[in-house]
Amino acid sequence: MFSFSSSALVDQPFDWAYQLEDLGYSGWEIVNEGKQRLTAETMPLAREIVETTSLVITIHLPYSDLNLASMNQPIWEETIRQMKECISLASDFARLAVVHPGYLSPLGKQMPDRAWEQNIFGLQEICDHAADHNMTIAVENMLNIESMLGRTPEEILGMLENVRRENLGFVFDVGHANTNGNVDSFLALKDEMVHVHVHDNKGVRDEHLPVKSGNVNWSRVANALNGYEGRLVTEARTLVQGVQSMRNLKTFLDHLE
């Protein structure tokens, strides 16, 4: 159940995706940024991959310059519009979409409760649109940047509980949790996980290193995820590093068997 994902590989992504099955992957997470973005022009390329491979496609909704917690209403509305458009396009072949929660803008920092409400309203809008297209939304825990929402298990649970949508789940990003020092706390939310992002770091920056190249305790992660049935998505800067992550994590998972 391994998928590959990369926002760093921006050159001809609809060409290198054909290598994934030969490398041992069964899925691809399309990051809707840059040349990977699903548009009227790129949709035929995406459909060709779906029709000529056995890859399970998931998507990562766009995030650059967008903010679900924006206090600037036109920006918030544009964020919702772009995410909905992406869901509509991807619904032909994807059943799950990853979304970043919002972040506190300078105004949001002065009104954090209102920004939190905007984030909840935004997630509700996205989930309702996704439900119309038979898709699940997975909200991602974020890295250690103070302005970002969703850095703690409590905030992620708060989103799930306040959005109150059956098609909202949690994507556990191991690397992001490691920058906040709360990998173990997030592992306690296993029952809420519908998706997992896999990458390593040394606990300070979001380095997206291959598994076993940082200080994440992967043995503990593998043990805690025993029985998890969703996808494991290696987020990597290159195909080689992605394969390295997949193989290294498999050694921990195989040990459990």
Residue-wise pLDDT tens digits, 25-84: 999 999 999 889 999 999 999 999 999 999 999 999 999 999 999 999 999 999 999 999
- CA–chain centroid gap for 135, Å, is 14
Tens of pLDDT, residues 65-77: 999 999 999 999 9
Residue 253 has pLDDT above 70, yes or no: yes
Give the percent of the chain with pLDDT over 90. 91
**Strand pairing partners for 103?**
148
pLDDT for 169: 97
* Average pLDDT over every residue of 143-164: 98
Residues 6+ apart with CB under 8 A from 94: 30, 57, 58, 59, 135
Per-residue pLDDT, 16: 85
Residue 208: both structure tokens together: 């997206």
What is the percent of the chain where pLDDT is above 70?
98
pLDDT at 4 over 90: yes
CB 54 within 8 A of CB 26: yes
Residue 68 is predicted with a pLDDT of 98
Cβ density class 70-109: b for 16+ within 10 Å, e for less: bbeeeebeebbebbbbbbebbbebbebbbbbbbbbbeebe
**Span between the terminal Cα atoms of the chain, in Å:** 15
Q: How far is CA 140 from CA 19, 55, 145, in A?
A: 27, 22, 14
| Mean pLDDT for the stretch of residues 129-149 | 98
pLDDT band at 257 (very low <50, low <70, confident <90, very high): low
Distance CA 121, CA 68 (A): 8
What pLDDT score was predicted for residue 131? 98
**CA distances (Å), 174 to each of 18, 22, 67, 202, 219, in order?**
27, 26, 22, 12, 13
Phi first, then psi, for residue 166 (nearest 5°) are -65, -25
H/E run at residue 27: strand 27-31
**pTM for this entry:** 0.96
- Confidence at 195, pLDDT banded by 50, 70, 90: very high
Residue 204 has phi, psi (to 5 degrees) of -120, -55
Q: Are 127 and 166 in contact (CB under 8 A)?
A: no
Between residues 256 and 151, the one the model is more confident about: 151
Written as six digits, the tokens of 136 are: 């699940």
- What mean pLDDT value characterizes the chain? 95
Asked if the model's pLDDT at residue 244 lies above 70, the reply is yes
Q: What pLDDT band is residue 10 in, cutting at 50, 70 and 90?
A: low
Is it the case that residue 9 has pLDDT exceeding 80? no
- Collapsing DSSP to helix, strand or coil, 69 comes out as coil
User: Which of the pair, 12 or 217, is modelled with greater confidence?
Assistant: 217
Q: With the C-alpha atoms ordered 25, 31, 32, 36, is the resulting torsion angle positive or negative?
A: negative
Q: Which CATH superfamily is domain 2-256 in?
A: Divalent-metal-dependent TIM barrel enzymes (3.20.20.150)
Residue 140 banded pLDDT, cuts 50, 70, 90: very high
The Cα 55–Cα 51 span in angstroms is: 9
Condensed to tens digits (0 to 9), the pLDDT of residues 162-175 reads 999 999 999 999 99
C-alpha span between 141 and 145 (Å, rounded): 11
